[in-house]
Amino acid sequence: MEMIVPKAPTNEMPIPSAQHVLVLGAGIAGLAAADTLNRAGYRVTVLERGSAPGGAHRSHQIGPYTFDVGSIFYDDKGLIFSLAPENRELCPAVHRIERRIAPDGKLLSYPIEPRELLHWGYPKLSKALLDLLLRRQITRLDGTLETICLARLGRTIYTDTGLRSYITRFNHTDPRLLDEEFFLYRMGFIERQTRPSALLGHVRRALFGQAFRAANLRPSVLRVRPRDGFLALFTPLQQRLEAAGVVFAMNEELQRIEGTPAGYVVRTSAGTHRCDIVVNTIPLDTLHTALFGTPSGIGSLDLMTLFVSARRLAPTMGNVLFNFHTTGRWKRATIYSRLYSDPAVAREYLSVEHTILPGAAADPETAFAEFKAQLEGFGHAEDLRLEGHDRVSDCYPLYRPGTHALRPQILKRIEATGVVTVGRQGRFEYLPTSSGVIRRVLEELAAAGLSMPADMKQAAGPTP
């Protein structure tokens, strides 16, 4: 389907205050885009398929427990607080303490510490180091996640630390069938720690008995979403924008985008919108289908979150737990009872995340049974109960082979229509923090000629 492309603004063009921008999505990227565009003088409408702002981040109140979908942590100076500074004081300051279940069932630090390998004993450690050196010499990269992991780590370290098990369950796909882009973007810590200079540093510190990452072993101080849930964080952002003139069109599912000489016609489940500019923050594949009538060829993983309570959890579990064991489909658990202390709540409670392939059925009861058997079997938990669950679509990029080459082609085709696409989902990018999302939104809007106010430029800081 060929589109008529409306004349897009450029950096040299003045910004008419009458121009109307339709922002697709009311997640953090959409809210940041709406704020920036509104400050720049555009008339802004935010189109959202859900009933509340926040995108994939949403909370559920079940009895005395508040559960969430999505990460709840924010840097104390995060850019999300520049959108509504009063929100910072609503978000409690906490120490994030991360642990993982190792292949032997023990609770160890997260991420993997090089010093742990010293406890393997001389025979296994020697085998691991020889394997690592040999793999670096003989392995030819073929673009797959499996091969680059073997080349950087060797098979012994790759498998026996539980890393292969973790990345397999994260993607619900064998690493041999995944693009190496996952290693480069989602496994940044391991990518950096396995560079030759870093490995030499690890060996030197081991020989002289020095600490590997003493400073990083201290719990990090962050803020978490308000005690009452994500609505208490995102509703003030929506209200601020509405007070400034931004219009929110909620509960509208995007169906079609058509270009005309006068602008764009955007059809939704609730009606039709007309605008001069479209700024997209929703999943790239959804946008591609709305523009061209066909899928893009790239996919995303859904996220199923189990809401669980427990009579007891191991004191050494921390407040965020990752699954590096060979069993269980869950990847990460966030323990709210250790972040929001409340004597009136007798049981511990946590969310447990599982990724799901596109189109696959969710099975929360079986997933919970596996989680319960694993944690109670190791003695890390007692009397686990499933309180509820939720599923959110298109949460993580799925790095199938060829994705690295296909993504820029898709973006180029979309950009040819004049639609500006920004954010984590809008550009199929891995952006692990809300500040990273907001910073990239500001950069992409500026690059598209959609003016960025000076105060937001200062808040965003230098381009990384």
Range list of H helices, 13-109: 28-39, 80-83
Residues 269 and 236 in one domain: yes
**CA distances in angstroms from 377 to 116, 223, 373, 380, listed in the order given:** 24, 33, 6, 8
- In three-state secondary structure terms, 120 is helix
pLDDT, residue 49, reads 96
Number of neighbours of residue 394 by Cβ within 10 angstroms: 20
Report the alpha-carbon distance of residue 450 to residue 38 in Å, rounded: 11
Stated pTM of the model: 0.89
**Domain membership flag for residue 45:** yes
Q: Would you call 235 helix, strand, or coil by DSSP?
A: helix
- What span, in angstroms and rounded, lies between the C-alpha atoms of 54 and 31? 8
Quick one: CA dihedral 83, 88, 90, 93, positive or negative? positive
In the block, residue with structure tokens 């008419």: 16
**Distance between CA atoms of 11 and 7, rounded to whole angstroms?**
13
Q: Which amino acid is at 401?
A: P
The Cα 269–Cα 260 span in angstroms is 20
Decide which of 249 and 6 is more confident.
249
Scanning the structure block, which residue is given the tokens 């937001």? 456
Pairing state between β 263-268 and 254-260? antiparallel
CA distance readout (Å), 175 to 69, 167, 189:
26, 7, 18
Task: Dump pLDDT digits (tens) for 169-197.
Answer: 999 999 999 999 899 888 877 877 777 77
State the average pLDDT over residues 87-110: 96
pLDDT of residue 226: 98
The answer on 338 and 311 residing in a single domain is yes
In this prediction, residues 10-31 reach a mean pLDDT of 77
Q: Check residue 16 and give its pLDDT.
A: 47
299-310 and 348-356 beta bridge pairing: antiparallel
C-alpha distances in Å from residue 109, one per residue of 100, 106, 114 = 6, 10, 11
404 within 8 A of 181, measured Cβ to Cβ:
yes
Percent of the chain with pLDDT over 70: 89
Domain shared by 287 and 420, yes or no: yes
Phi/psi zone of residue 63: left (φ > 0), alpha (ψ -120 to 50 degrees), beta? left
Beta partners for residue 420, in sequence order:
279
Mean pLDDT over 423-429 rounds to: 86
Q: Percent of the chain having pLDDT more than 90?
A: 76
Phi and psi of 148, rounded to 5°? -70, -30
Domain holding 244, by residue range, is: 20-56+229-298+400-460
Q: 7: pLDDT confidence band, cut at 50, 70 and 90?
A: very low
Nearest in space to 318 (alpha carbons), one of 112, 162, 94: 94
In 3D space, the residue among 145, 399, 163, 169 whose CA is nearest the CA of residue 303 turns out to be 169
Within 8 A by CB and 6+ apart from 175, the residues are: 144, 145, 146, 149, 164, 167, 168
Average pLDDT over residues 224-237: 97
CB atoms under 10 Å from CB of 393, counted, come to: 13
**pLDDT score of 213 more than 60:** no
Task: Indicate whether 287 and 315 sit together in one domain.
Answer: no
Same domain, 280 and 313: no
What are the structure tokens assigned to 283, written together? 């999943």
pLDDT at residue 455, as a whole number? 42
> Predicted confidence band at 211 (pLDDT cuts at 50, 70, 90)?
low
Q: Do residues 282 and 405 share a domain? A: yes
Q: Mark whether 134 and 180 lie in a shared domain.
A: yes
At 218 the pLDDT is 52
pLDDT tier, 14 (very low <50, low <70, confident <90, very high otherwise) = very low
Task: Give the whole-angstrom CA distance, residue 132 versus residue 157.
Answer: 8
Classify 68 in phi/psi space as left (phi over 0), alpha (psi -120 to 50) or beta: beta
Average pLDDT over residues 335-362: 95
Same domain, 137 and 201: yes
Does residue 153 surpass a pLDDT of 50? yes
Determine, yes or no, domain membership for 218: no
What CATH code is carried by the domain that includes residue 382?
3.90.660.20
pLDDT of residue 198: 73
The overall average pLDDT reported for the chain is: 89
Number of domains composing the chain: 3
> Is residue 203's pLDDT more than 80?
no
Q: In this structure, is residue 372 part of a structural domain?
A: yes
240 lies in some domain: yes
Q: Of 127-141, 370-384, 446-460, which gets the smallest average pLDDT?
A: 446-460
What's the pLDDT at 186? 82
Structure confidence at residue 192 (pLDDT): 79
Q: Alpha helices of 139-187 — where are they, by DSSP H?
A: 145-160, 163-171, 181-186
Q: Is residue 262 included in any domain, yes or no?
A: yes
Backbone angles phi, psi at 83, to 5 degrees: -75, -30
